[in-house]
Chains A and B, each alone.
Chain A
Amino acid sequence: MSAPPFRFSRALSSPASLDPVDPRGARLAAALTSLVLAAVLVAAPAGWATALLAAQTVVFGWGAARGAAATPYAVLFRRLVRPRLAPVEPEDPRPPRFAQAVGLSFSAVGLLALASGARLLGLVAVGAALSAALLNAAFGLCLGCECYLLLARARHRRTARSTGPGVAPR
C-alpha cells in the first residue's frame, strides 16, 4: 500500500496556530513587504540594502514557521490599525502562511545571490518576491493559492509516471 500523497494542506496545518486571522492584516503586511523589497531593489547592491533584505528574509521565515500573524507587520496591524477598524469575518490563516513561505524562498535566493555577487540573479529573485507581495497588496490575489492546484497537478504527474501501468490508480 503506497503512502498517502503529500498534501500541502496537511503540511500547512502544523502546530502553528490555526486561529482564523483578519485578512486585512495580511494585506497590510504584503503592502509593507512590497515597500521593503522595492527599497532593496532601488538601493542594491549597497550594503544596507542587503541587510534590509536579510531582515525581510528573517521575517518571511518567521511568518512561514509561526504563521503570518506572528510577523512584525501583523503585530503592527493589530496594535495600531485594527482598533480603528470595524471587525470583519476572519479567514483561514494558511494561505497567508503559504505566501510567507513563497516569499521566503525567493528572498533567500535573492539574498544568497546578492551576498555572493550574482547581482542580476539576486535582483530578479527579489523582483519576483516583490511581484508576489504586490499582487496580494494591490489586487488581493494570493499567489500561493493560485499555484496550489498547478503544484498538485505537477506532483500527480510525477506520481503517475512512477507507478507502472499495472498499478491501480488512486
Chain B
Amino acid sequence: MPAGLIVLVVAVLATTLVGLHRRRSDGRMRSGSGEPTLSRADLGAEPGARATLLQFSSAFCQPCRATRAVLAEVATLVPGVEHVEVDAESRLELVRRLGIIRTPTVLVLDPAGRELRRVSGVPRRDAVLATLAELT
C-alpha cells in the first residue's frame, strides 16, 4: 500500500476521532475542582449572591460570542447569578492557575468563589439552568 494512502487513512481516522470526541465533550458540564478559585479582586467584578458564571474568552472566537449570549440570558433569568467575562489572553497567569486550555471555558462559582462546575465549548442554556438549580 503506497505510503500516501496510509497517511491519508491515518489522517482521516485521527480527524474523525478528534472531531467526535470534541462533539461529545463540548457543552458538557463537568465537576469543578471545588477549590476556591478567585477573590473578588481577582474577579474584577461583584460575584453573584447565588452563583457566578465566569467565562474565559479570546479574540475572534465565535463560540465565545454564542456562549456570552447564553450566559447573559441565564443571568437575566435567574436572580443572584452574575455573568463575568474575562479575556484569557490578558489574564494568562489566571488561565494557567486554573488550567484553562481553550476558550470558551465557563466556570460556575459559588458565592465564595469555589469552582463547582466547568464547561468548555458552548453550553446549552437549559444545561446551565439545570446546573444552577441543582447546585444552589
B5 to chain A: which residues have CB within 8 Å?
Answer: 41-42
Label chain B's interface by main secondary structure: helix
A22 to B62, CA, bound (A): 13
Would B7 and A152 count as touching, CB distance under 8 A? no
Would B3 and A152 count as touching, CB distance under 8 A? no
B3 to chain A: which residues have CB within 8 Å?
Answer: 44, 119-120, 123
Residue of B11, B18, B93, B101 touching A127 (CB-CB under 8 A): B11
Would B89 and A41 count as touching, CB distance under 8 A? no
Interface size band for A? 35 or more
A169 to B94, CA, bound (A): 13
Residue of A92, A128, A139, A142 touching B11 (CB-CB under 8 A): A128
Chain B residues at the A interface, C-beta cutoff of 8 Å: 2-5, 7-8, 10-12, 14-16, 18-19, 22-23, 58-62, 88-89, 92-93, 95-96, 100-103
Identify 13 new A-B residue pairs, CB closer than 8 A, beyond the known A126-B7, A139-B19, A149-B100.
Answer: A8-B59, A23-B62, A41-B7, A49-B4, A91-B62, A95-B60, A119-B3, A148-B58, A148-B59, A148-B103, A149-B58, A149-B88, A152-B58
